[in-house]
Amino acid sequence: MISRIFVMLKNGATRADSYLIDSKFLKKELIKLAEALTNPILENFSINNLEVLPPNGGKTSKFTYAIEIGFKPGVTDNVGHTVEEIARDLLGVKKNPDFHVYTSKIVFISLSKKDAEKYALTLYNPLIEKSLIVPVKNKKISLPKKVPKVVLKKRKPVINVSLKVSDEELIKIGKEGIKDGDGTRRGPLALDLASMKTIQGYFKKLKRSPTDIELESLAQTWSEHCKHTIFANPIDNIKDGLYKTYIKGATNLIRKQKGKNDFCVSVFSDNSGGIIFDKDYLITHKVETHNSPSALDPFGGAITGIGGVNRDAIGFGLGAKPVANTYGFCLAPPDEKRKLFRDKDRTQALLPAKRIMEGVIKGINVGGNCSGIPTLSGFIKFDDRFRGKPLVFAGTVGLIPRKNGSKLLHEKKARVGDYIVMVGGKVGLDGIHGATFSSVTLDSTSPATAVQIGDPITQKKLSDAIVKEARGLNLYNSITDDGAGGLSCSVAEMAKECGGAKVMLEKVPLKYPGLRPWEIWISESQERMTLSVPKKKWKKFNELMKSRGVEATVIGKFTNSGNCVVNYKGKKIMDLDMEFLHNGLPKQHLTTIPYLQNNKEPQIPKNSSLTKTLENLLGNNNISGFSYISQQYDHEVQASSVLKPLSGRGRINTDAQVFRPVLSSEKGVILSTGVYPSYGDINTYYMAACALDTAIRNIIASGGSLSNLAILDNFCWCSSYDKTRLAQLVDAVKACYDYGVGYGTPFISGKDSMFNDFRGYDEKGNPIAISIPPTLLISAIGVVPDIYKIISPEFKNVGDVIYLLGKTDDELGGSEYYKSLKAVGNDVPKVNLEKNLKTYLALERAIQKELVASSISVTSGGLAIALAKTCVGGMLGCNISVRGMPGSSKSADAKLFSESQGRILVSISPQNISAFEKIIKNIPYAKMGKVVKDGKFTITDKTKIVKTDVKKLYKIYHRFSEKMK
Amino acid sequence: MEKKNKSKNKKPKIIVLSGYGLNCEEETKFAFESAGAKKNVRADIVHINDLIAKPRMLQKYDVMAFPGGFSYGDDTGSGKAYANKFKNYLAKELEEFLARDTLVIGICNGFQIITNLGILPGALTYNKNGRYLDRWVDLKVTGRSPWLKDIKKISLPIAHGEGHYVISPKEYKKIQKDKQIAFKYIKGEICKFQNLEHNPNGSDYDIAGVLAYNGRVLGLMPHPERAMFSHQNPLWHINKNTPKEGRGLQVFKNAINYFSARGGSAYGGKK
């Protein structure tokens, strides 16, 4: 029987919650359940019939239509699951073993039918939701009692795919997927001809055709997403490839140089990178991207991005506890109005830029807030070229004890005979081909099933049960995350630890019947992890999981057969040599073509007001505050906050954040990032150098230490088949090596996303291609010995003296100032390693001696913007002169807005001046002026060049946030 | 009502609930243990399913804390599902617990849970602008409770999406008369410092926390455990010369002290 419970605010409202229930419950049971879903002080419920009541007891308006927004069949319905649990607790379910709840929202409107249809489009995402418009008649609505149940056609579970075919067909299989019985293709394997031929050869030797699941499994394991082929393959004369030579190469060299001061413990080998926190704990960090899913469903893409990277912490060693989340958005400006389509017929529209922005912000919100993980560090950048594919970065810092008894917790090894145990959510069609999809361009063939929705509470239960209980009880030998490629990747990866695996795929719990084995194997349904549990510990493990409301299932055994074997209902359907599965991917020698970038120089307006320029820049979305994001993310849960995302009277966004992950210790962890997509339009070597320098400088400016600092790289590139793009990549990677080694900051983890391109159509049906600007995000993580010594960026006291450390050169290329003049220019900031090192070490000493009152890193927008931010932060004015600043900058524009690296703006209380000047005597600096109390903001060169006041600057700085609130 | 008065100088036993998405249990435990460090007080984190499995366990505890979090993801309304579970399995034990001379605190999601349990007046709903909000607020104490001893004004952080407290005018009069309004949002030093509105979520009558059972049960949206260190306060950066202990710890100290000889009836309690 299908019934519906409506819950609505007592005194009328413009919306109602609907719970569609497919059960054998009696009327009185339904009433009992409805009561449990209703807060009697606020709400009323009704069953099956809803009396519509406009707000304020119906006095305000009359409704004409109701719009119901519900999920499409198979899409994760978290609220529905909760109601099922409530019903199970409340009614006992022995009588009703099988019942389902489907939720939807009903919105009431007073519009015409046509306007209602238009309005409905803004309420839902057709990829995952559906809408239904019904008239309101005599205050009543009639909604169909039809449940969105997944009904899958019965299909042949396993098919053999003949590879005795032409190269054209091999290419087609690789690009569009295996052909199903009905002639349709299953979606991209993202295997090129060389890979397909290698697979063809392998099965020719075996004298058989591969099964579909074997082919799908190879495609997952060999995907760019999993194997990082562009970073692994030889390129030009770099025979060991970029990753091994420059990223890992840098880390290895730095660790050797650090000798006994090496703080790296587990780098590049696990789901996250791990470094020493203190004698008892390690901290881990990992930053992921979730770009392609976020393009299709921004909320789902971002929430599964953060959920996925949380599992990279839980999957570090034997399980680290997530203690901080980080995020980064590179998006098209929200007022970007271009209408774009994925298909020529213009039926598949890209979501508007503003919806993408709101969706990804909300995804990180729900993912972090619901999981009790503080979301601390983040940034948002805008560029039109992120319209095709947005970049969504999500990171998680983990905390793990170094030992449990004598056992080192960062080590893990599945043992022969251990059960393969899947823990967490069930498997559905969600996220099929996610790994391969993210390795290609976004277009009309992009699979809708690649979209997933997260369920943070299922994951929270899983996380707590593992990290807070099972780990301490030593109940498993190894653990990894079911992320890209699902079981196919997690099981195959863990099988490396012992030499093989045998899976019984029919044991995997499913969300609904009818999934084919290959789908179960590669599905990326969320909130799952794979563990290896010794047989004798299984009972205890399973009991613990049950008592925590976590589902755990034995799906096979780890072996040492040398093969990864999958059975389905007693029949062997996959049998792949582990060596071939992991190392069979043919190597390709990549080559590059040098590129030459020569950009137009801007027309510098003559006699324009620099005050106006400064105010305009401060209001630029790439510079201004984003408190509306920071304050909707819980950054204080776990009671660890020290330097928060917002600081000072004026609530400016901080460039680095500090927290104490172990409440009984006064040591802290400091986080920051650096990212300059626009510099890559001139030179990717310096783009990378500046990102790295900025991430480090942000840390030093806030009281972190260079000797205890590690970094992470996230390369987001475009058109990586294009040889000039590859040349840009090589340059950027080389800079990572040069400056990483130079600063002694090892890379501990990284990730790349190489195909951030969109190919589609504009409003008129003309083909259009949009590629992102090559983007490198550097994230830094360090250990702060004493949290009580960290420094916030805003000015503190009237009369404090303002210093600029470092040199200001004429480096406006790629700057926010040039961008505001619609130009790129060519003089991109360079990074002078030796000079900057001296500056950073001096500042470190001054902060440790507690001589510094405020300290802010000079980044986008240059000196004038840093000054404006630190004034707004303290709601104090300043009076400074830029005459005689060290460096080659001559014009006032360059002095104010050049983005030269290595600079920090500090304020020092008068009694500390002589001690401070002693420390900085060997580095270039300018003593610029003072913090003043009247709020006046004055900059003088030969004459007064900027004159404004802090209240005005405050308004400008927060304008974007106020608008979005 | 239990009349028997034990010699009031004991080390209280504290239970902090967990499970199903509650997530502030560790720092809440830490706050109680720091507050009771001199007496070596221990707080136990207990998963609700373990309590359901052994409900008699509750008899050995003196203080029960429902910490903050996102139980059941706030699905169907914050606190509802966890309260339903608690009521289904532990209604009798809760009644017994409250009949003894015990203390209960519900913080944030914990507050939402215990209002849904029906042991506190009023209800909580969506913030007035519909968005989750993390910031600091200023509070003044207006109620009578052992939890509030020696606190007149305090600044604490909030982080919630459903913190709008709702109560009818009639009931408001009653709880006001009975000194059941623990905290009201006011414009204090934080609001002045960061130019923020005093009532962050549109709560009726600026109510941030309420009391019942003669002050022994406290529910509040702000998080005292996130103000147990000085560095957590946004004002710390402009004045670091303050004791390392944050003001929020006083709430937890009061709970410990209630069970020592000092715990006085002037602040409510018993009954």
The reply to whether A7 falls in a domain is yes
Interface test mutation site (partner B, options A375, A457, A653, A791, max chain B beta carbons within 10 A): A457
Band of pLDDT at residue A618, cut at 50, 70 and 90: very high
In this complex, do A85 and B81 lie within 8 Å of one another by their Cβ atoms?
yes
Helices A78-91 and A456-463, interaxial angle, to 10°?
70
Q: Of A60-64, A178-182, A886-890, B92-96, give the lowest mean pLDDT range.
A: A60-64
Q: Does A633 sit within 8 Å of B75, measured CB to CB? A: no
Give the model's confidence band at B192: pLDDT under 50 very low, under 70 low, under 90 confident, else very high. very high
Residues of B with catalytic roles: 108, 223, 225
Distance to chain B for A229, nearest Cα, Å: 39
Q: In this predicted model, what pLDDT tens digit does every residue of A34-53 receive, in sequence order?
A: 999 999 989 999 998 888 88
**Within 13 Å, how many C-alpha atoms sit on residue A192's CB side?**
10
In a domain, A685, yes or no: no
Residue-range definition of the domain harbouring residue B18: 14-267
Give the one of A43, A549, A644 whose C-beta lies nearest to B20's C-beta. A549
pLDDT in tens, B100-149: 999 999 999 999 999 999 999 999 999 998 899 999 999 999 999 999 99
pLDDT digits (tens, 9 = 90+) for A456-508: 999 999 999 999 999 999 999 999 998 888 999 999 999 999 999 999 999 99
Q: What's A246's DSSP letter?
A: I
A418 is known to lie in a ligand binding site? no
A451 has pLDDT over 70: no
Question: Cβ contacts (< 8 Å) between A7 and chain B: which residues?
Answer: 76
Best CA proximity match to A905, nearest among A947, A946, A861:
A861
Q: Is B166 helix (H, G, I), strand (E, B) or coil?
A: strand
Torsion angle of the four alpha carbons A326, A330, A335, A341, in this order, in degrees rounded to the nearest 10: -120
Does the pLDDT of residue B6 top 50, yes or no?
no
Q: Residue B237 and residue A37: Cβ atoms within 8 Å?
A: no
| A863 closest CA partner among A803, A822, A921 | A803
Q: How far apart are CA B140 and CA B188, in angstroms?
A: 9
Cα–Cα distance, A556 to A533 (Å, whole number): 11
CATH code, domain with B180: 3.40.50.880
User: B133, A632: Cβ pair inside 8 Å?
Assistant: yes
First-to-last C-alpha distance (Å) of chain B: 6
Please give the sequence-ordered ranges of beta strands (E in DSSP) within A811-862, or none if there are none.
854-857
Does any domain span residue A156?
A: no
**Is residue B82 domain-resident?**
yes
pLDDT tens figures, A865-875: 999 999 999 99
Q: Quickly state the pLDDT bin for A223 (edges 50, 70, 90).
A: confident
Q: What is the CATH number of the domain that holds A835?
A: 3.90.650.10
pLDDT value of position B1: 39
Of A86, A460, A664, the CB nearest to B21: A460
Contact criterion met (CB < 8 Å) for A632 and B134:
yes
- Domain count of chain B? 1
| pLDDT-derived band at A940, boundaries 50, 70, 90 | very high
Q: Name every residue whose Cβ is closer than 8 Å to that of residue A872 and which is 6 or more positions away in sequence.
A: A648, A650, A652, A794, A950, A953, A954, A957
Q: Which among B81, B123, B131 is the nearest to A41, CB-wise? A: B123
Predicted confidence band of residue A95 (pLDDT cuts 50, 70, 90): low
Sign of CA dihedral B150, B223, B199, A7: negative
Please state which of the ranges A503-517, A631-645, B218-232 shows the lowest mean pLDDT: A503-517
Residue B6 covered by a domain: no
Structure tokens belonging to residue A475: 């109940």
- Tell me how many helices (H) and strands (E) chain B has: 7, 11
Q: Which long-range contacts (CB under 8 A, 24 or more apart) does B245-248 make?
A: B247/B151, B247/B154, B247/B155, B247/B156, B248/B31, B248/B154, B248/B156, B248/B223, B248/B224
Predicted confidence at residue B8, as pLDDT, reads 62
Last residue of a domain, which of A106, A135, A164?
Answer: A135
Q: Which of B70, B133, B166, B249 to substitute to test the interface with A, most A CBs within 10 Å? A: B70
Task: Confirm or reject contact between A36 and chain B (CB < 8 A).
Answer: yes
Find the radius of gyration of the CA atoms of chain B.
Answer: 17
> What is the H or E stretch that residue A82 is in?
helix A78-91
Confidence of residue A122 (pLDDT cuts 50, 70, 90): confident
CB contact burial A784-816 (16+ within 10 A = b; e otherwise): beebbbbbbbbbbeeebbbbbbbbbbbbbbbbb
Tokens standing for A594?
Answer: 């040098």
A653 in Cβ contact with A635 (< 8 Å): no
What interhelical angle do A78-91 and A27-36 show, nearest 10?
A: 120
d(CA B26, CA A273) in angstroms, rounded, equals 25
Q: How many residues does chain A have?
A: 965
- Nearest by CB to B21, from A457, A632, A651: name it: A457
Q: Does the beta-carbon distance from A632 to B70 stay under 8 Å?
A: no
> Could you tell me if the ipTM is greater than 0.90?
yes
Range of the domain at A49: 2-135
Cβ partners under 8 Å of residue A174, min gap 6: A189, A190, A191, A192, A193, A195, A196
- Encode burial over A371-401: b for 16+ CB neighbours within 10 A, e otherwise: bbbbbbbbbbbbbebbbbbbbbbbbbbbbbb
Which chain B residues contact residue A457 at CB under 8 A? Answer: 20-21, 70, 72-73, 75
Quote the DSSP letter at residue A297: -
The alpha-carbon gap from A86 to the nearest alpha carbon of chain B, in Å, equals 6
* Mean pLDDT for chain A overall: 92
Query: A456 and B244 in contact by Cβ < 8 A?
Result: no
Top-confidence residue, B247 or A186: B247
Query: In this prediction, what percent of chain A has a pLDDT beyond 90?
Result: 78
Residue of B nearest to A37 (CA): B76
Which residues of A participate in catalysis according to the annotation?
225, 290
Q: What pLDDT does residue A435 have?
A: 55
Please tell me the distance from the alpha carbon of residue B86 to that of residue B108, in angstroms, as a whole number. 17
- Asked if residue A693 belongs to a known ligand binding site, the reply is no
Instruction: Sort out which chain B residues have CB atoms less than 8 A from A82's CB and list them.
Output: 72-73, 75-76, 81
For residues A911-924, average pLDDT: 96
In a domain, A943, yes or no: yes
A933 burial type by CB count under 10 A (0-12 exposed, 13-18 middle, 19+ buried): exposed
What's the rounded mean pLDDT across residues A571-586? Answer: 93
The residues, any chain, with a CB within 8 Å of residue A271's CB and separated by 6 or more, are A286, A311, A312, A313, A315, A316, A480, A481
* Residue A732: strand, helix, or coil: helix
What is the pLDDT, as a whole number, of residue A441?
Answer: 62
Does the pLDDT value for residue A196 go beyond 60? Answer: yes
**Which residues on chain B are in Cβ contact (under 8 Å) with A796?**
237-238
Residues of A in contact with B228 (CB under 8 A): 639
Which pLDDT belongs to residue A673? Answer: 98
Q: Confirm whether residue A311 is marked as ligand binding.
A: yes
- The answer to whether residue A636 neighbours chain B at the CB level (below 8 Å) is yes
Per-residue pLDDT at B264 exceeds 60: no
Rounded to whole angstroms, the Cα distance separating A36 from B84 reads 7
Residue A826, class by beta-carbon neighbours within 10 Å (0-12 exposed, 13-18 middle, 19+ buried)? middle
Q: Is A406 annotated as a binding residue?
A: no
Q: Are A242 and A724 in contact (CB under 8 A)?
A: no
- Contact status of A85 with chain B (Cβ, < 8 Å): yes
CB under 8 Å to A611, separation ≥6 — which residues?
A945, A946, A947, A948
Q: Are A871 and A937 in contact (CB under 8 A)?
A: yes
- Region A732-742: what's the mean pLDDT? 97
Quickly state the pLDDT bin for A12 (edges 50, 70, 90).
confident
pLDDT of A606: 82
Q: Identify whether B43 is part of a domain.
A: yes
In a domain, A602, yes or no: no
On the question of pLDDT at A344 being above 80, the answer is yes
Q: Is B3 part of a structural domain of the chain?
A: no
Residues A56, A59: Cα–Cα separation, whole Å: 6
CATH number at residue A8: 3.30.1280.10
What φ, ψ does residue A9 adopt, rounded to 5°? Answer: -60, 145
Identify whether B22 is part of a domain: yes
**In this structure, is residue A633 part of a structural domain?**
no
Structure confidence at residue B3 (pLDDT): 41
Scanning A646-665 for CB atoms below 8 A from B yields 647-651, 660, 663-664
Q: What is the DSSP letter of A33?
A: H
The C-alpha angle with vertex B136 and arms to B201 and A382, in degrees rounded to 5, equals 85
* A286 annotated as a binding-site residue: yes
HEC letters along A545-600: HHHCCCCEEEEEEECCCCEEEEEECCEEEEEEEHHHHHHCCCCCCECCCCCCCCCC
Q: How far apart are CA A35 and CA B76, in angstroms?
A: 11
Average pLDDT over residues A293-301: 89
The burial class, CB within 10 Å (0-12 / 13-18 / 19+), for A529 is: buried
In-domain check, residue B5 = no
Helices of type H across A286-423:
291-296, 298-314, 353-371
Q: What pairing do the DSSP bridges indicate for beta strands B63-66 and B103-107?
A: parallel
Smallest Cα distance from A34 to chain B, Å: 11
> Which residues from A are below 8 Å from B32, CB to CB?
none
Q: Among the three residues A84, A117, A135, which one is the final residue of a domain in this structure?
A: A135
Amino acid identity at A928: M
- Please tell me if residue A198 touches chain B, with a CB cutoff of 8 Å: no
Q: Is the pLDDT of residue A792 over 90?
A: yes
Residue A676 lies in a domain: no
pLDDT of residue B5: 47
For residues B178-207, average pLDDT: 96
Q: Which residue of A has its CA nearest to B121?
A: A41
Q: Report chain A's C-alpha Rg in angstroms.
A: 29
Distance CA B145, CA B147 (A): 5
pLDDT at A761: 94
Short-list A456, A446, A519, A451, CA closest to A485: A519
Gap between the Cα atoms of A755 and A718, Å rounded: 5
Does the pTM exceed 0.90?
A: yes
pLDDT at A850: 96
- Domain membership of residue B97 (yes or no) is yes
DSSP state of A390: -
Question: Does residue A167 sit at the B interface (CB-CB below 8 Å)?
Answer: no
Interface size A-B, in CB pairs within 8 Å, comes to 157
Integer Cα distance of B149 and B255 in angstroms: 9
Least confident of A89-93, A195-199, A262-266, A669-673: A89-93
Q: Last residue of some domain: A79, A105, A135?
A: A135
Q: Measure in Å the smallest separation between the Cα of A651 and chain B Cα atoms.
A: 7
Whether residue B132 and residue A651 make contact (CB cut-off 8 A), yes or no, is no
Number of domains in chain A: 2
